[in-house]
Amino acid sequence: MGTASKVFSVILRFGELCSFVIVTALLGRFFYFEDLAPNGSINGRLIYTQVISCLSILFSIVLIVPLKYSFYAWPLDALLFICTIVAFGLLANLSTSCTSTWYVTYWGWYWGRLWVPGSRVNDVGCGSWRAILAFLFIGSMAWMLSAFLGAFVFLEIREGRETHRATEIKEKIKRKDHRSPDPENQQQ
């Protein structure tokens, strides 16, 4: 578990945190608009994505400190990668562009406030929808890279092949402990 793996781990965790904070905030704004609409309902895919985003935020905060336990959590990273890529697939299947029927009838209803007299859809929530898809994908790739890094470090630690620098430092410490004091170098 060298310095490079620790730094890369923190960068990935910070990327996960930022990505899923953005996804959660944009979906939260959508849920707010849904709450304003009369007789509105939220698609289950959006709720699933919101739950996975919140879990991703929680676990990225818990695992951001580069200690051994954060590298041992690589199966959790792999599980969250699978969950987030499923959420991405579910949302991308709904609409990848702002011209689909789903976007105009559902997304446009809340973001465009079609229920308010005089509102138009145009491209009201298009940028936000694309940002949700983009940051969901970026966050899922960060989980995947964290899983690969964690598995690599876990195998290195398990096989006793930590970085050469760490091994050299441990050997120097052991040699210093076993050395007898040199009488010529001692001052009185």
pLDDT computed for residue 128 by the predictor = 81
pLDDT computed for residue 185 by the predictor = 59
- Buried-exposed string 135-153: b where 16+ CB fall within 10 A, e elsewhere: bbbbbbbbbbbbbebbeeb
Show me where the domains of the chain are located: 3-163
pLDDT computed for residue 159 by the predictor = 72
Is pLDDT at 93 greater than 90 in this prediction?
Answer: no
CA dist 187 and 177 (Å) reads: 20
pLDDT computed for residue 172 by the predictor = 64
- 19-23, 27-31, 142-146, 174-178: which has the minimum mean pLDDT? 174-178
Query: Across the chain, what does the average pLDDT equal?
Result: 79
Is pLDDT at 187 greater than 90 in this prediction?
Answer: no
Start-to-end CA distance of the chain, whole Å, equals 42
Q: Report yes or no: 9 and 145 within 8 Å, Cβ to Cβ.
A: no
Is pLDDT at 56 greater than 60 in this prediction?
Answer: yes
Mean pLDDT along residues 5-14? 90
CA dist 91 and 30 (Å) reads: 14
pLDDT computed for residue 79 by the predictor = 96
pLDDT computed for residue 134 by the predictor = 93
Percent of the chain exceeding pLDDT 70 equals 64
Q: Report yes or no: 20 and 51 within 8 Å, Cβ to Cβ.
A: no
How many Cβ atoms from other residues are within 10 Å of residue 10's Cβ?
15
Is pLDDT at 119 greater than 50 in this prediction?
Answer: no
Mean pLDDT along residues 33-37? 71
Q: How confident is the model at residue 49 (pLDDT cuts 50, 70, 90)?
A: very high
